[in-house]
Amino acid sequence: MVTNGQTWVRGDLFDPNCATRVILDRIGDKWTALVVLRLKDGPRRFTELRDGIGQVAPKVLTQTLRRLERDGLVTREIFAEVPPRVVYALTPMGESLIEPITAVSNWAEEHVPAITRAQEKYDASA
Amino acid sequence: MVTNGQTWVRGDLFDPNCATRVILDRIGDKWTALVVLRLKDGPRRFTELRDGIGQVAPKVLTQTLRRLERDGLVTREIFAEVPPRVVYALTPMGESLIEPITAVSNWAEEHVPAITRAQEKYDASA
DNA sequence: GCTATAAGTACCTTATGGTTACTAATGGCC
DNA sequence: GGCCATTAGTAACCATAAGGTACTTATAGC
């Protein structure tokens, strides 16, 4: 596997110190995927995100957005107005994440009926 | 969107009660993806999984496996021996999850350098 | 002066995750 | 015969993260 000219050996995903695993952990957290999918259709203000993502607590949304900003997946633009206006947008790297996340999301959607059936069967036998 | 002949309306992923979101949440938890990727190469015993996934606590591994079993993604086969032997394996539905999970995992792997750079830049300016 | 507004932060409570120790049942070893 | 090792967990406890609600800052409009 080669990334921009530099040899890049596939790390051991199962090693707790593996960088890939740390990132996978981040992406897979409770809100990150939802925020990225929300920003897919264009930049959004803090309140729009907060109200648009089934009642996420502001504290948690802030944390999630700060992490995304730190990871270079989202930009945060502050307008010096009163009341304040802060606009979040995906970076190109953030946009590149939409495809894999959508793949997982679509998988989930397609398998809702089968999973629900499996759960009912499991619960009935227990 | 149509799934096996039945009309299936794309739910609102941003609604906290959306079934898709619940499943997405499950998939994205800390260990599920790792367990599925571990089982990709064939059935494994409890201890093999525990030792193979960078020191996951047994309690948490049990929880993860029980959820996967309940969701119909993994089978659990107990052999009445002493000491006991329990073998976990992916169901066909579990196998179908490998592809989207791998997509996310590959994305993470490819972007490790860029994310690391972004983090360093962010931390330096703060 | 009073109120509304946006984007948070502070503080407290609850849920989840993590750690370590312990258990059941039997075969092999001394 | 008694003792230890082995596997797949469970139990009890503690740490961390998430969730909920209240508060803050600064200014424009009434």
Question: Tens digits of per-residue pLDDT, A63-90?
Answer: 999 999 999 999 999 998 999 999 999 9
A93/B114 Cβ within 8 A? yes
Query: Is the C-alpha dihedral spanning B19, B103, B93, B70 positive or negative?
Result: negative
Phi, psi of B53 (to 5 degrees): -110, 95
Q: What is the pLDDT of residue B66?
A: 95
pLDDT interval class at B73 (50, 70, 90): very high
Listed by number, the residues of chain A in 82-121 with a beta carbon closer than 8 Å to a beta carbon of chain B are 93, 96-97, 99-101, 103-119, 121
Q: Which of B115, B90, B107 lies closest to B32 in space, CA to CA?
A: B90
Q: Contact, B60 vs B66, CB < 8 A?
A: no
pLDDT interval class at B10 (50, 70, 90): low
Helices (H) and strands (E) in chain B, counts: 6, 5
Q: What is the pLDDT of residue A102?
A: 93
Q: Is the pLDDT of residue B4 over 80?
A: no
Instruction: Choose, out of B64, B97, B104, the residue to mutate when testing the contact with A (most A CBs < 10 Å).
Output: B104
**Element (H or E) spanning A14, and its range?**
none
Q: Is the pLDDT of residue A6 over 50?
A: no
> What proportion of chain A, given as a percentage, has pLDDT over 90?
67
Of the CATH numbers 2.60.120.200, 2.102.10.10, 1.10.10.10, 2.120.10.30, which one belongs to the domain with range A2-125? 1.10.10.10
Q: Which of B118, B109, B31, B13 lies closest to A28 in space, CA to CA?
A: B31
Question: Tens digits of per-residue pLDDT, B17-59?
Answer: 777 888 888 888 889 999 999 999 999 999 999 988 877 999 9
Average pLDDT, chain B: 87
Phi, psi of B67 (to 5 degrees): -65, -45
Question: Tens digits of per-residue pLDDT, A95-116?
Answer: 999 999 999 999 998 999 999 9
User: DSSP character for A66?
Assistant: H
Q: Contact, B26 vs B67, CB < 8 A?
A: yes
pLDDT interval class at A10 (50, 70, 90): low
The partner residues of B88 in beta bridges, in order of sequence, read B44, B76
* E strand intervals along B31-116: 44-45, 74-79, 85-90
Protein residues with beta carbon less than 7 Å from any atom of strand D: A 29-31, 55-60, 63, 82-84; B 45-48, 58-59, 62, 65, 76, 82-87
> What proportion of chain B, given as a percentage, has pLDDT over 70?
91
> What proportion of chain B, given as a percentage, has pLDDT over 90?
66
